[in-house]
Amino acid sequence: MSLRDDFLAEIEVFLKATGMSATRFGREAVADPRLVFDLRSKGRAPSARLMDQVARFMAERGGTAVPAPAGVGGKGVLLVIGGGIAAYKSLDLIRRLSERGAAVTAVMTDAAQEFVTPLSVGALTASRVFTGLFDRDDEHDVGHIRLARAADVIVVAPATADLLAKMAGGHADDLATAILLAAGAPVLVAPAMNPKMWAHPATRRNVEALRRDGIHFVGPNAGEMAEAGEAGIGRMAEPHEILATAQRLLSPATRLLAGRHVIVTSGPTREPIDPVRYLANRSSGRQGHAIAAAAAAAGARVTLVSGPVALADPPMVTVVHVETARDMLAAVEAALPADVAVMAAAVADWRVAETAAAKIKKGGGAPPTLALSENPDILATIARRKASRPALVVGFAAETDDLIHNARDKLKAKGADWILANDVSAGSGVMGGEENTVHLISRDGVEDWPRLPKTEVAERLVGRIARALAPSGK
């Protein structure tokens, strides 16, 4: 969709007149739609299309990644309050949502009512609070199915260990769980519990299952617990964080890559030596998985071709699990055509020329010599394809020295459109770590990005990809 010139001109006049940067404008406009709404037409609520235009404007001009999230104004938020001490924070969440124009409907579990009263919740939502599955009035007037269907997003805060277990098991024995089982809208949960409960294998299993079901999570955070002397991971995310995540789920920015197919490779490859041994590397797959998740969150159809990693499959992504470089190449080729290919895997450059059929024994003699042969270069193979080459082919360059120079060489040698260069030298903590410092290298030059969590690198990259694929993009 191209931006209307008059709309851009209007924004530009506004930016000049106020001295506001495009980035700040975008952030404020989407946080408070009234900014655009006042600018545009007095008295009319901003349409989704208008907000979409702002999002695209941001992606094209701001240089930041995914534009800041749109407001929740006019959206129906169904808030399920679970029974935890953090339930008091849900009152602040309701206030923040309501202030931004969301219509909040609250459902409280029995346990939640031990912590906050329906009266105080109802005073803040300015509407009836739903508590019982078998409440005749509730069912007569609304019904849990309709409650579930009317929401644009369902937020569960606090989500107790018990509530997560029920959700994971598909229980529906009270109003909250029945709604969650009937939900059509995205579901965002904000877990809150004692760190031991969060770390318990049962909770881990439930969280894993819920993630696979496409449930979104925010938090929990690390910090002090309500119980004296207890600290660790388990504190509910702060209301502003929950709000921001809910906004992101509702945001028009989530459609930045709608209709696009993105292939991502991730993780190491494993090259067998014999039936029990292999050659591999330290790649965790975090960066590639984060890119797949961010592209899916931006509305793309995503095929993630992953080597062996200890990460859960990201939600809403088709994952093809492979072991070797040759299998990875075959899986990528099978997934074509695509608009974008992001090769984030740390592919083993060599494989053992002849894999032994049986375990190689020590046998008392000299250690065996492994003859190696070179693996296919997946990035170069895809970038050089004549038929169905993706419009944008992005590679990574993992370097320990002369980063930019080597990365530039890789851009040319492999025929990629962009290379994200990262320093993986021993002290950098990048390989296997949570953060990354990358430089985006294209034929146009080098863009230095600050040190960011890998999830944010992913979001930024998705923003840049959307910008490049836009009709006026480069």
Interacting residue ranges for ligand CTP, rule: CB under 6 A: 265, 325, 343, 345-347, 349, 375, 377-379, 395-398, 410
Nearest CB to ligand CTP, comparing residues 21 and 400:
400
CA distances from 452 to 66, 386, 435, 439, 459 (A): 14, 35, 5, 12, 10
Nearest CB to ligand CTP, comparing residues 54 and 343:
343
> How near is the Cβ of 373 to ligand CTP at its closest, in Å?
12
Nearest CB to ligand CTP, comparing residues 293 and 343:
343
Q: Which helix (H) or strand (E) holds 445?
A: strand 445-448
Q: How far apart are CA 157 and CA 347, in angstroms?
A: 41
Q: Which residues contact 384 (CB under 8 A, 6 or more apart)?
A: 415
Does residue 49 contact residue 42 with C-beta atoms inside 8 Å? no
Does residue 306 contact residue 283 with C-beta atoms inside 8 Å? no
CB atoms within 10 A of CB 371: 9
Q: How far apart are CA 317 and CA 313, in angstroms?
A: 7
Does residue 131 contact residue 108 with C-beta atoms inside 8 Å? yes
* DSSP one-letter string for 331-344: HHHHH---SEEEE-
Does residue 64 contact residue 93 with C-beta atoms inside 8 Å? no
Q: How far apart are CA 157 and CA 84, in angstroms?
A: 9
Pairing of strands 418-423, 438-442: antiparallel
Nearest CB to ligand CTP, comparing residues 250 and 343:
343
Nearest CB to ligand CTP, comparing residues 72 and 397:
397
The tokens of 410 are what?
Answer: 């890789």
> How near is the Cβ of 461 to ligand CTP at its closest, in Å?
13
Residue with tokens 């430089």: 439
Q: Which residues contact 308 (CB under 8 A, 6 or more apart)?
A: 267, 268, 270, 280, 321, 323
Pairing of strands 350-352, 372-374: antiparallel
CB atoms within 10 A of CB 445: 7
> How near is the Cβ of 114 to ligand CTP at its closest, in Å?
52
Of 311, 273, 266, 245, which Cα lies nearest the Cα of 458? 266
Does residue 57 contact residue 11 with C-beta atoms inside 8 Å? yes
> How near is the Cβ of 379 to ligand CTP at its closest, in Å?
4
- Catalytic annotation on 375? no
> How near is the Cβ of 450 to ligand CTP at its closest, in Å?
21
Does residue 124 contact residue 98 with C-beta atoms inside 8 Å? yes
Nearest CB to ligand CTP, comparing residues 245 and 269:
269
> How near is the Cβ of 288 to ligand CTP at its closest, in Å?
9
Does residue 101 contact residue 74 with C-beta atoms inside 8 Å? yes
Nearest CB to ligand CTP, comparing residues 233 and 330:
330
Question: At 364, phi and psi to the nearest 5?
Answer: 85, -20
Q: Which residues contact 458 (CB under 8 A, 6 or more apart)?
A: 287, 290, 291, 293, 294, 295
> How near is the Cβ of 397 to ligand CTP at its closest, in Å?
4
Nearest CB to ligand CTP, comparing residues 102 and 325:
325
> How near is the Cβ of 331 to ligand CTP at its closest, in Å?
12
> How near is the Cβ of 272 to ligand CTP at its closest, in Å?
16
Choose, from 206, 221, 281, 422, the residue flagged as catalytic.
Answer: 281
Q: Which residues are catalytic?
A: 281
